[in-house]
Amino acid sequence: MADDTWAGVADQFADDAYASVKGQVRTFVIHQQLLEHLPAPPATVLDVGGGAGHQSFPLAGAGYDVTLLDPSSAMLDKARQRLQRLPQEAQGRVTLGEADGEHADEAVEGRRFAAVLCHGVLGYLEQPEPTIDQLCGCAAPGGLVSIMAGNAHAGAVRPALERRWDDALASFDARSEIGVLGLPTRADAVEELSEQLLSRGVQPLRWYGVWLFIDWLDLSGAELDPTDSEQVAAVAAVELEAGRRDPYRRLSRIFHLVGRKGPS
């Protein structure tokens, strides 16, 4: 853990990105998508690469037993700060640990979970397969595996909306780019990731888009007020529906894939 890649962007990621309308919508939409598949609380949830807890802390608030792992001490510091804002009862349902996805099983000492989340992590890994092995391995029989990743079929969207036409043309066949946080990222195809889960005993159940219209507005330079709760709720309702339907979900720059592990 000597080199903390996220130390320089922890504030930007945990404080700014998630406070934006797009960040709020992402959290809400994935939360609702998860609730369609999660067993009832107090089921156990492992959040691998969970950062500051934006996705899993709401689950703790809803009664789930959450274990969050992240390799970045800076991000875990952010998680500890945010954890203090939760009600005392919810705080008691959260365990934090410093570990990367490739060592998740060791970090949780072989414990198996009703749901394993890995959102926005695979794209930062040159070799994601060892982490996928761990995600599937840490799920209990019948447990969920939830992965959010960049959509390889929508790579030209961001550079086109930013009017970087040469980059957009090259992006139709590209899998990697420098992301909005200034870090190199790579994208996955839903079909390929589904096959990887299936080969590890996890049956894909459903996949969703996460955001579309709000992303296009943001990338084109439109400004939306994150304190306007009525507007945020309205946007979130539209994005939640778009994420369930074709062709909209296929145009989303990120996707959410949910699978269920077979019996042992």
pLDDT score, position 125: 92
**Within-domain flag for 20:** yes
Q: Which domain holds residue 64?
A: 10-261
Q: What is the DSSP string of 130-176?
A: HHHHHHHHHEEEEEEEEEEEEBGGGTTHHHHHTT-HHHHHHHTT--E
Higher confidence at residue 9 or residue 209? Answer: 209
**Within-domain flag for 130:** yes
**Within-domain flag for 2:** no
**Within-domain flag for 3:** no
**Within-domain flag for 1:** no
Higher confidence at residue 95 or residue 182? Answer: 95
**Within-domain flag for 23:** yes
> Residue 116 maps to which CATH number?
3.40.50.150
Q: Tens of pLDDT along 142-184? A: 999 999 999 999 999 999 999 999 999 999 988 888 767 677 7
**Within-domain flag for 5:** no
**Within-domain flag for 244:** yes
- Band (pLDDT 50/70/90 cuts) for residue 1 is very low
Q: Tens of pLDDT along 192-207? A: 999 999 999 999 999 9
The predicted model scores a pTM of: 0.94
pLDDT score, position 143: 98
| Count of structural domains within the chain | 1
Q: How far apart are CA 263 and CA 246, in angstroms?
A: 31
**H-type alpha helices, the chain:** 10-11, 21-35, 57-61, 73-83, 88-91, 104-107, 129-138, 157-161, 165-171, 190-199, 213-219, 229-242, 248-251
